Amino acid sequence: MASVSEMYDVGWEEMRDKLRKWREDNRRNSEQIVDVGEELISEHASKLGDDREHVPFLIVLSPLPTSLQTCLQELRKQFPDSHRVKRLAGMRLEALERYEEANKHYDAILQDDPTNTAARKRKIAILKAQGKSTEAIRELNEYLDQLPLLFISSAAFCLEELMMTNPHNHLYCEQYAEVKYTQGGLENMELSRKYFAQALRLNNRNMRALFGLYMSASHIASSPKVSAKVKKDNIKYAAWAATQINRAYKLAGRGTKETKYSVKAVEEMLESMQITMS
Amino acid sequence: MLLLKLCILIESRQLGVDIHFSPETMPIQLTSQAYCKMLLHAAKYPNCAVNGLLVAEKTKDRKKDSEPVLCVDCLPLFHGTLALAPMLEVALTLIDTWCKENNYIIAGYYQANERKKDSRPNQVAEKVAARISENFSDAAIVMIDNSRLTMSCFEPIVIIYDHHENKWKSRDVTLDSFEDWSEAQKITSALLEGRSYENLIDFDNHLDDLRNDWTNPMINKSVLDLC
């Protein structure tokens, strides 16, 4: 069969531009997309640059299953850990009614990222397709329970925007750190610690940032997933934060009898956390 | 008394919760100091959600079904954003240490939601209460009914929830839920009218300035003076 470039006498750049336009216009001319796209991937992949990502997705989402295999293989090669790719692989399996395997893909995504709504929706779609309505309802309820997690992701996004436009505002920085901490997970905890540290650089009297630095560093240090060096570094950060906290309390406590309870409580709290870190 | 019970029944039905007196979990009782500080906290921030902890005295043996758990004091925590983890953890750990010093135990959690008509415990409330339950099995959630907050405080405006069969169910709030309701009513009303809530310190205020004392000794003294 003659190639697209031969049939229409077009170069690869024109093919790429055409695909871009179809994508922007949300066109569903699947057969053409598949033909042009497949050729671009197999013959001109290295020249595509940013479009490399979009071309295979465009093809996979077009309703024809014939070229799915090639596209998915290409995607998996380029983006081995991508959730989007896993989801597409799952969708292909769904189309072939191999529901158990499809579910495995979606469960893998959700284990890594419990806020991934797309994966959750696919799981519910499978249950519906299998006629298991009660289970579908149960999964839907679980999905609704995850909504607060979604809200917190939106909160993170909003704060990111605020920080970009107000880089010197230590309050946004510190709030962002708190949101990251609340989202949980090692990566978010490390980000949280960095932003608490940044908030402190902007305002060294921000107690929330100081406490936050202490808590996040302590959590990282007591995590079994970190290397010895990371653990050692975080113990150092936490120890520094603890000294600063104690100092701040002693300063505040001068002259008033009542705050002596706070000072002692803080010292004890810091000591008790040291035990969990070692 | 009957009218009060009827009002509470209607209110609960509107909320769609079960009224369920569970003999297995011990009811909590509020002292005037605990009740009044909760309301002062809610009054200080009328446009925000507020939350805090309730503490009881730690006793060696506690026989089931005999005495209720007396919450002697209330520690206001946050206003506005209640759901962020790090400061909540700091507050819980700090207050836990303070409790050990004073032979108290954290026995309950209170919350007033942001919206007037919403007085159900949400995820935050359930999470904190679950944490408290790890150390105190009869932990309760006390929700403040914002729609009934008035200066005169002629009726109790709290809804108490117990953990029962993995769900939080509200119980009948009677005058027995208070150590001395008429005293609580008198003191709370006086302090609300005197605007003492302006001087109430919560943990958020403490984080803003460490000299602010979240144990609220001044307000405690006012309560004592009015007893």
Q: What is the pLDDT of residues B179-217, one digit of tens each?
A: 899 999 999 999 999 999 999 999 999 999 998 999 999
Q: Do A272 and B97 touch (CB under 8 A)?
A: yes
Instruction: Please tell me the predicted confidence (pLDDT) of residue B15.
Output: 42
**What ipTM, to 2 d.p.?**
0.82
Contacts of B96 in chain A (CB under 8 A): 269
Bridge-based pairing state of the strands B28-30 and B69-79: parallel
B123 touches chain A (CB under 8 A): yes
B chain contacts of residue A171, beta-carbon cutoff 8 Å: none
Domains and CATH numbers, chain B: 17-219 (3.40.140.10)
- Residue A51, pLDDT > 70, answer no
Q: What is the pLDDT of residue B4?
A: 41
**Interval A237-258: pLDDT, tens:** 998 998 899 888 888 876 555 5
DSSP lists the bridge partners of residue B71 as B30, B56
Cβ-based neighbour number of residue B25 at 10 Å: 19
Chain A residues touching B98 at Cβ < 8 A: 261-262, 265
Which residues, in sequence order, are CB contacts of A84 under 8 Å at separation 6+? Answer: A57
Q: Which residue did the predictor score with more confidence, B168 or A12? A: B168
Contacts of A249 in chain B (CB under 8 A): 210
Query: pLDDT tens, A77-113?
Result: 888 778 888 888 888 888 888 889 999 989 988 888 8
Query: Whole-model pTM above 0.80?
Result: no
Q: Which helix (H) or strand (E) holds B51?
A: strand B50-57
pLDDT recorded at residue A189: 94
| Per-residue buried b or exposed e for A13-31, using 16+ beta carbons within 10 Å of the residue's own CB | eebbebbeebeeeeeeeee
Residues 6 or more apart in contact with residue B223 via CB below 8 angstroms: B32, B33, B36, B37, B187, B191
Instruction: Please provide the DSSP assignment of A41-88 as one string.
Output: HHHHGGG-TTHHHHHHHHHHHSS--TTHHHHHHHHHHH-TT-HHHHHH
Are the beta carbons of A265 and B211 separated by less than 8 Å? no
Ranges of chain B whose pLDDT falls below 50: 1-23
Query: Residue B26 and residue B29: Cα distance in Å, rounded?
Result: 10
Residues 6+ apart with CB under 8 A from A179: A152, A155, A156, A159, B84
Average pLDDT in chain A: 81
Q: What is the pLDDT of residues A184-240, one digit of tens each?
A: 889 999 999 999 999 999 998 999 999 999 999 999 998 888 999 999 999 999 989
| B93 interaction partners in chain A (CB closer than 8 Å) | 269, 272-273
Query: Is A16 a residue whose pLDDT tops 70?
Result: yes
List the 152-191 stretch of B: residues with Cβ below 8 A of A. none
- Whether residues A269 and B87 touch (CB distance < 8 A) is answered with no
**What integer pLDDT is reported at residue A57 of this predicted model?**
65
Q: Which residue in A181, A192, A268 is closest to B97 by CB distance?
A: A268
Closest-CA distance, A118 to chain B, in angstroms, reads 23
Q: Do A258 and B217 make contact, defined as CB atoms within 8 angstroms?
A: yes
Interface of A with B (CB under 8 A): 148, 152, 175, 177-179, 181-182, 184, 192, 207-208, 211-212, 215-216, 248-249, 251-252, 256, 258-259, 261-262, 264-266, 268-269, 272-273
Per-residue pLDDT at A151: 76
For residues A248 and A143, which has the higher predicted lDDT (pLDDT)? Answer: A248
Confidence of residue A36 (pLDDT cuts 50, 70, 90): confident
CA-wise closest residue to B139 among B19, B28, B224:
B28
Say yes or no for a CB contact (<8 Å) between B85 and A252: no
User: Which of A200, A258, A267 should we substitute to test contact with B (largest number of B Cβ atoms within 10 Å)?
Assistant: A258
